[in-house]
């Protein structure tokens, strides 16, 4: 497999490169791709140095897979050009997520929907991925009627500029306004704004949770509302989630269902004060769920707390898992062809 990582110098691109090596993805040629200002610089992959190339050269190389983490504008311009030469694009931006012609994929939930014709595949928003990992098995069993989500999202989700701002504020250094990711301080603060505000007074991040959840679960009847908050935390995003089911349930059933879900780890032992925290989720690929308890204020209500590393399962890991699925599917097809 010839694999290009587009946006290789960014926070997510760096993690993608590390994980491709750690997970031993079968790469025959590695193509690091970035903007013009990074072309010619080097990155390390599996102990070897590779020169960064530009977008045109990457398209001409016709990689089998191109994993994008370079922003929506770049993806809208270049993903179709990669697709035209036969490359399968796995895109981490919001550019294609709500395009009805594109699949929005979390491999454990809906990778089986992918076909050879899907040349641009959307990677969901980080906060959505960890949410639906816990929701999907519960929706199949109890039918989710309504969701209320409050997120506590790591500043790392905003990228390197946010990390620089946090570190400067932590060290009490002056930082120019143009170099800030946020209008307000992020160190020792919580900012109830993730992304820009929309006409309905919700932020773009909050509406991603609404729209992407319905699309991935293939059910636009689920009523969803969300408040997304940026917090001064390394390690991952946390979500307090309140669910209302159509069907009655037992809390023990919920815990058992989640404990049997691949990619989900239940941490729910209140007697010993065991519950999910971003500190423990840092650099882990799983989604952690705890504080699972009945909401006694309504029929069929449930509360739970969901945590995952936003740069791993929330971005890089999920994208690479899609690539792994595509590779496995290709190998299976080749085997079947040989047997015919």
Distance separating alpha carbons of residues 243 and 303, to the nearest angstrom? 6
**Contacts of residue 67, Cβ cutoff 8 Å, sequence gap at least 6:** 3, 4, 5, 6, 16, 89, 90, 92, 319, 320, 323
Look at the block and give the residue holding tokens 């491709």. Answer: 20
Residue 282 is a catalytic residue: no
Which of 139, 194, 237, 282 is the catalytic position? 237
3-state secondary structure the chain: CEEEEECCCCHHHHHHHHHHHHCCCCCCEEEEECCHHHCCCEEEECCEEEECECHHHHHHHCCCEEEECCCHHHHHHHHHHHHHCCCEEEECCCCCCCCCCCEECCHHHHHHHCCCCCCEEECCCHHHHHHHHHHHHHHHHHCEEEEEEEEEEEHHHHCHHHHHHHHHHHCCCCCCHHHCCCCCCCCCCCECCCCCECCCCCEHHHHHHHHHHHHHCCCCCCEEEEEEEEECCCCCEEEEEEEEECCCCCHHHHHHHHHCCCCEEECCEHHHCECCCHHHHCCCCCEEEEEEEEECCCCCEEEEEEEECCCHHHHHHHHHHHHHHHHHHHHHHHHHHHHC
Residue 139 is a catalytic residue: no
Task: Count CB atoms within 10 A of the CB of residue 287.
Answer: 29
Q: Which residues of 66-83 are buried (b: 16+ CB within 10 A; e: fewer)?
A: bbbbbbeebbeebbeebb
Which of 126, 139, 194, 282 is the catalytic position? 126
Catalytic residues, by residue number, are 126, 237
């Amino acid at each position: 497999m010839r694999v290009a990582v587009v946006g290789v110098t960014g926070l997510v691109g760096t993690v993608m490169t590390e994980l491709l090596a750690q997970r031993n993805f079968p790469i025959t040629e590695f193509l690091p791709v970035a903007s013009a200002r990074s072309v010619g610089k080097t990155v390390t992959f599996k102990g070897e140095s590779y020169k960064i190339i530009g977008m045109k050269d990457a398209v001409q190389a016709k990689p089998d897979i191109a994993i994008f983490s370079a922003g929506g504008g770049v993806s809208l311009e270049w993903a179709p050009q990669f697709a035209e030469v036969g490359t399968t694009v796995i895109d981490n931006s919001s550019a294609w997520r709500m395009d009805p012609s594109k699949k929005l994929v979390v491999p454990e939930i809906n990778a089986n929907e992918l076909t050879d014709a899907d040349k641009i595949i959307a990677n969901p928003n980080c906060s959505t991925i960890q949410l639906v990992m816990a929701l999907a098995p519960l929706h199949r069993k109890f039918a989710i009627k309504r969701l209320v989500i409050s997120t506590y999202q790591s500043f790392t989700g905003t990228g390197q500029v946010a990390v620089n701002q946090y570190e400067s504020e932590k060290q009490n250094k002056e930082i120019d306004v143009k170099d800030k990711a946020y209008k307000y301080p992020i160190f020792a603060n919580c900012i109830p704004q993730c992304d820009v505000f929309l006409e309905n007074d919700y932020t773009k991040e909050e509406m991603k949770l609404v729209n992407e959840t319905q699309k991935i679960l293939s059910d636009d009847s689920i009523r969803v509302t969300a408040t997304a908050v940026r917090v001064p935390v390394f390690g991952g995003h946390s979500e307090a989630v309140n669910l209302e089911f159509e069907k009655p349930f037992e809390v023990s059933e919920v815990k058992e269902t989640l404990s049997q879900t691949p990619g989900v780890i239940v941490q729910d032992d209140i007697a010993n004060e065991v519950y999910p925290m971003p500190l423990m989720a840092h650099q882990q690929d799983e989604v952690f769920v705890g504080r699972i308890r009945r909401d006694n204020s309504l029929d069929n209500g449930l509360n739970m707390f969901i945590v995952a590393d936003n740069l791993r399962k929330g971005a890089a890991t999920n994208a690479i898992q899609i690539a792994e699925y595509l590779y496995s599917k290709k190998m299976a097809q080749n085997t079947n062809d040989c047997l015919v």
